Structure 1
Amino acid sequence: MIARQKLSKKERKNLIKGLLFISPWIIGFLVFSVYPTVYSIGLSFVRYSGFLPPVWLGLQNYQRLISDDLFWQSLYNTLYYAAFAVPIGIVVAIVLALAMNRNVKEVGIYRAAVYMPSIIPPFALALTYIVLINPQYGLFTYLLSFLGVPQTNYLSDPNSAKLVIVSLAQYGAGGTALIFLAGIRSIPQTLYDAARIDGANRLQCFFRITLPLLSPVILFALITGLTGAMQVFDPAFIITGGGPNNGTLFYIFYLYRTAFLYAQLGYASALAFVLFIIGLLLALLIYRLSQRYVNYELVS
């Protein structure tokens, strides 16, 4: 057994000072993160409306999930959204980053224009998107008419409504593109010069140099994108209200309705805890698989 090394008087003094400096963060973390999480887990075992005293139910809230069709529907909608929005968002961000890496005079203006949609409030962006896809006078409908696409109300079908929200998510790709741009600019130019001397073209340089060395950034974007996708709420709440036919009833939207419209805080807490477990398992799975493909060194 390794003996514990005692801290000197100076080290203890420095430790106390360090803890005092970070105490605001520690207190905030305990009050606003740890306590609500523990409290929510406790609520998942009771029936509680927020007005009457809680009633102990044990595992009944979790047993109810198995037979709850809306739970499975919302989970399917959320995974469907994540399966399309996250990979497409990464591809779009990489393409934008490559474009922003071009050596042209107007690149600064272009970077600002690409980043601007990602800071637009979701409420304003969703309302704007409703106008753009309007089947009668929407700009997108007008442009698609030149390609022979008939006027269609994309929000009237569950599948197309989900794809509309997936496409809306791509307006936030500018923020992720800046992260990819930083990753691209950190790759040594000497690697590209050596590849061109060996006869590699631009496409080969991208797949053999850029993409492998961007794998840590891709992993980061994948995990953060998946985290955001599992919590999608604003577009469905504003644009479709969960419809049509619960086609855009995402998990967080269902949790919100259960807690604040139906006053079933206990059952909503069980939904929240299950979502936490699902997100944690997906993140661990992605991280485990990434060990085979992520390259953390420039030269292996």
Structure 2
Amino acid sequence: MSSARGMSMKAKETLAFYLFLTPWGIGFIVFLMGPLLASLVLSFTNWDLLQPAQWVGLANYKRVLFGPSQFWLAMGNTAYYALILVPLSIVVALILAVLLNQNIILRRFFRTVFYLPATLPIVAVVFLWQWILAPSGILNEILGWFGIHGPAWFVDPAWIKPGLILMGVWAAGSGVVLFLAGLQGIPKYMYEASAMEGAGPIRQFLMITVPMLSPIVLFNLINGIIGALQVFTQVYIIARDNKAAVMAVPYLYHEAFGYFKMGYASAVAWIFFIFVMALTLVVLRWSRSWVYYEGEVR
């Protein structure tokens, strides 16, 4: 009797598990897996939303990779943006976290201030930075105090990407919070023991702080790469008509919803997805040589 009752309870728990999982499963299939598979099929067709889709095989992929398009220009601009923004954001976030981890006055206030940009709506942030980086904006006015003639950040093609990078670094607050949590988890006795051996603050930072925070660096690195490669709103608002700042996701959006080339845009999306996935796997593989996990034996 007890065995049958136990099996009955196990069956009820299994049924409850699948019932609770069902809403997520339906949402995953309808809103993620379904559109994902549909875009894969559409990437082999020519479809403009108005006429029936026509099967064209690999023609869209050949056009993306080898045809006269702005795909490689968009990928180059996106890579430039991510290559500078991600390391710079990590370094700035780490330095700010180390400073905010000290016993200073108004420490909680400064922590809130530095995290605040990460909570603001991206459209509001873009309009704010359009005002700050305007040709006669506040930043150029401050530079003028030192005799520096500031550029037209979002007007001059040569300065659009640096302006976007500056705006991205300003929103590094989430990385600061993660680094702060990691710093507070480092045992103090490690610093005390190293100080007794004659290690100074810089050596302690390089030999203790950085290795102990390496898992968080990896997390911020992967999230930063994916986020930077998928940048859209800033570029769409600020420089959607400027070829100097055309990037992958805005380019995909314009091809799909500006020119109604759904098949071509789907091919762009899948090539971009493969690129991001491959880059992420390379970073994960590379991280084995520098990420330290407590208790790991090598």
Q: TM-score range by the shorter chain?
A: over 0.9
Q: Is the 8 A contact 1:242 1:250 kept in 2?
A: no
Letter in 2 for 1:51: L
Which residue is equivalent to 1:256?
A: 253
* Equivalent residue runs for 1:50-89 within 5 Å: 50-65=49-64, 66-89=66-89
Letter in 1 for 2:288: Q
Q: Is the 8 A contact 1:231 1:252 kept in 2?
A: yes
Query: What's the offset of the Cα at 1:99?
Result: 1.9
Give the aligned CA root-mean-square deviation in angstroms. Answer: 1.6
Query: What's the offset of the Cα at 1:80?
Result: 0.6
Which residue is equivalent to 1:90?
A: 90
Residues 244-270 of structure 1, C-alpha deviations (whole Å, 9 max, x = no match): xx1110100100100111011111111
Which residue is equivalent to 2:135?
A: 135
Which residue is equivalent to 1:112?
A: 112
* Equivalent residue runs for 1:1-300 within 5 Å: 9-65=8-64, 66-136=66-136, 138-243=137-242, 246-297=243-294
Residues 3-54 of structure 1, C-alpha deviations (whole Å, 9 max, x = no match): xxxx955434322221211221121112111111111111100111112111
Query: What's the offset of the Cα at 1:298?
Result: 5.9
Letter in 2 for 1:125: V
Residues 114-133 of structure 1, C-alpha deviations (whole Å, 9 max, x = no match): 11111111111111111111
How far, CA to CA, are the matches of 1:18 and 1:171 in structure 2? 43
Residues 202-257 of structure 1, C-alpha deviations (whole Å, 9 max, x = no match): 111110000011111111111111111111011111112241xx111010010010
How far, CA to CA, are the matches of 2:148 and 2:69 in structure 1? 35
Letter in 2 for 1:294: V
How far, CA to CA, are the matches of 1:81 and 1:158 in structure 2? 14
SS in 1 for 2:244: coil
Residues 64-105 of structure 1, C-alpha deviations (whole Å, 9 max, x = no match): 112233011001010111101111111111112112212234
How far, CA to CA, are the matches of 1:167 and 1:288 in structure 2? 29
Letter in 1 for 2:267: A
SS in 2 for 1:295: coil
How far, CA to CA, are the matches of 2:140 and 2:157 in structure 1? 19
How far, CA to CA, are the matches of 1:24 and 1:70 in structure 2? 40
Query: What's the offset of the Cα at 1:148?
Result: 2.2
1:161 to 1:187, Cα distance in 2 relative to 1, 3 A: same
How far, CA to CA, are the matches of 1:176 and 1:236 in structure 2? 22
Q: Is the 8 A contact 2:130 2:154 kept in 1?
A: no
SS in 1 for 2:288: helix
Q: TM-score, normalised by structure 2?
A: 0.93
Query: What's the offset of the Cα at 1:135?
Result: 1.6
How far, CA to CA, are the matches of 2:217 and 2:150 in structure 1? 37
Letter in 2 for 1:76: G
Letter in 2 for 1:289: W
How far, CA to CA, are the matches of 2:223 and 2:105 in structure 1? 32
Bigger CA drift: 261-270 or 125-134?
125-134
Bigger CA drift: 144-153 or 72-81?
144-153
How far, CA to CA, are the matches of 2:150 and 2:225 in structure 1? 33
Query: How many residue pairs were aligned?
Result: 291
SS in 2 for 1:154: coil
Which stretches in structure 2 are left out of the alignment for 5+ residues?
A: 1-5
How far, CA to CA, are the matches of 1:135 and 1:196 in structure 2? 50
Query: What's the offset of the Cα at 1:157?
Result: 3.4
How far, CA to CA, are the matches of 1:20 and 1:109 in structure 2? 45
SS in 2 for 1:292: coil
Letter in 2 for 1:166: I
